[in-house]
Structure 1
Amino acid sequence: MLRTLTIAATANPSPARVSLTSPFTRQSLNAIRSLLANTLEGSDIPVAEESHAAVLIPLCNVDNKPGLLLEVRGKLRTHSGEVSFPGGKVDKTDASPLAAALRESQEELGIHPQQVEILGRIGPAETSLSGLRVWPYVGFVHPARQVDAYSEQADAPEVDVPLPSLALSSLRLSPAEVAHAFHLPMSALVSPPRLHTYLFRAERPYFAVSVADLVAGPHAVHSGPDPTPSWINDPQQRDEIGGGREGRLEVWGLTGWYLSELMRCLGVYSDQPSIR
């Protein structure tokens, strides 16, 4: 049966498990942790014979607004100009895919592993166009000054008090890998003008999210002097390669798929039968 993707939280806010406008709290993080635990039932596990990569889907509050951190890749041999989550290939020195995601997040954005409170993982892991099985971990990024306090908060009773906001100026971008890093508010994920429906691997619907204005806006940091985002714009490229389609800078491809999967899990998006 053909399916289409809808914005469930716009039609009826009650399906959404977390607020799209109020800051993340201890209560909302615990709710996300519970929802992600349910998605892993019967999920796959890493196979030694395969090559693996891992990404961190970093949730955070910025200026008391809930959202996610993303980056625009620099001028690299592969994935140049793409919007992505921090992450990369699992090295032999990494104890696990999660360790690789945390290491890459520190190398690319200067986020120390102790700042990241892991909430769970989305499953199943998809295979990238280069043949790597990519493991997506969801975590909340605490400000560096809060790393000693959040573990105590995790054991405390659920409270609906905003968690401290992350200062984007505290990020330390790797100039060799990252051109820009920016905050994508949760509210932007239900803004119809930003959303474009694509099919992941030509069969599964997901939303790509236009973000050029966010990259050039106040809630972004840059590794170079020019804040204007640049990306590859070639309609002849293979699916998922480049910054987006039709001249847009978008969260799309595998990154867009994982973002949509997280939003499905949180009740923000929903699948509906499509009659054609």
Structure 2
Amino acid sequence: MSRLLIPNPNASIVSLTSPFTRGSLRTIKDALSVAYTTKYPISPTETHAAVLIPLCNLNDNPGLLLEVRGKLRAHSGEVSFPGGKVDPTDESVLHAALREAEEEVGIDADKIEILGRLGPPTRSLSGLRVWPYVAFLHEKPYGSTSDIDDTSPLPSPPLSSLTLSQVEVAAVFHLPLNRLTDSRYLREHQFRGSTSYWACDATDLVAPGIEWSNACANLEDEVGVGFDGRLEIWGLTGWYLNLFMKIFFAGRSH
């Protein structure tokens, strides 16, 4: 018998099938602020990275934007959130996440509404301390959309409008929130061999013709190509995704 229980979508603090609204984003933001109150120091002796966990509405369907990485030296052909290594010129860890999102998928920082963060920031297998920030992607600068009321769907940029880095990103796709409560797509996995979480199959969400299946040279890396050759969200990306979804069903974590 599995040690994990698939969450009941009816128990979520916001709908998993109705588009995100100002009201639902406020609920998520409040839950994040309650769940993650610990202040984590940024050690100057470590190398840091930052990622966005970007919520978006696609055809009035709530979900998240994820990438399939290009043919790079590390994590080639794998699934990840937008983000990357903090540069010396970055004003902050969060600034690095915003900069990388613009470089990788062409979304301006003024269209990214930060809702909160997850914690604790975990080290990748390559030694980076990865800081995850939850955000919502607006189609227009979100400061200019005050006329949208609390119950109306918030528009996000269509995938076709994004400008992908030809080097870093092979494809982007939309992961519907309700997939994360659908047993057909979930596989129990062990994070770092000790803690159970759900890996999620995303094979069918990527446009045909994207060469991801044989692009990963090292299947022990922590994101992307997973069980039986499927394109899965697992490893550190999957772990952060699970931590985020716990907010929907528990409200408190660390």
Same fold by TM-score, threshold 0.5 exceeded?
yes
- CA, structure 1 residues 180+106, in 2 after alignment: closer, same or farther (shift >3 Å)? same
Determine the C-alpha separation between the residues in 2 that align with 1:74 and 1:58: 19
Farther-moved stretch of structure 1 (237-246 vs 200-209): 237-246
Aligned-pair identity in percent equals 51
Deviation at 1:43?
4.1
CA offsets per residue over residues 75-96 of structure 1, 9 Å max, x none? 0000101100000000001011
**Secondary structure at the counterpart of residue 182 of structure 1:** strand
1:66 aligned residue: 62
Aligned with 2:213 (options 223, 230, 235): 230
2:238 aligned residue: 256
Deviation at 1:190?
1.3
Native 8 Å contact 2:219 2:226 kept in 1: no
CA offsets per residue over residues 98-153 of structure 1, 9 Å max, x none? 0000000000000111110000000110000011100000000000x354424x36
Q: Name the aligned partner's letter for residue 231 of structure 2.
A: L
**Secondary structure at the counterpart of residue 164 of structure 1:** coil
CA offsets per residue over residues 185-231 of structure 1, 9 Å max, x none? 111111111100101011111111111110127xxxxxxxx345434
1:208 aligned residue: 199
Determine the C-alpha separation between the residues in 1 that align with 2:76 and 2:82: 14
**2:144 is the alignment partner of 1:149:** yes
1:8 aligned residue: 7
1:109 aligned residue: 105
CA offsets per residue over residues 48-96 of structure 1, 9 Å max, x none? 2211000000000010100000000010000101100000000001011
Aligned with 1:130 (options 126, 144, 157): 126
Deviation at 1:180?
0.6
Q: Name the aligned partner's letter for residue 189 of structure 1.
A: L
1:267 aligned residue: 249
Native 8 Å contact 1:196 1:209 kept in 2: yes
2:222 aligned residue: 240
Determine the C-alpha separation between the residues in 2 that align with 1:67 and 1:92: 32
Within a 5 Å distance, the mapping from 1:141-180 to structure 2 comes to: 141-143=137-139, 145-150=140-145, 152=146, 159-180=150-171
1:21 aligned residue: 17
Determine the C-alpha separation between the residues in 2 that align with 1:96 and 1:199: 32
Deviation at 1:45?
2.7
1:186 aligned residue: 177
**2:75 is the alignment partner of 1:93:** no
- CA, structure 1 residues 102+188, in 2 after alignment: closer, same or farther (shift >3 Å)? same
Q: Under a length normalisation based on structure 1, what TM-score does the superposition of the two structures give?
A: 0.85
RMSD (CA atoms): 2.3
Deviation at 1:4?
2.9
Q: Under a length normalisation based on structure 2, what TM-score does the superposition of the two structures give?
A: 0.92
Structure 1 unpaired stretches of 5+: 218-225, 272-276
- CA, structure 1 residues 70+40, in 2 after alignment: closer, same or farther (shift >3 Å)? same
**Secondary structure at the counterpart of residue 163 of structure 2:** coil
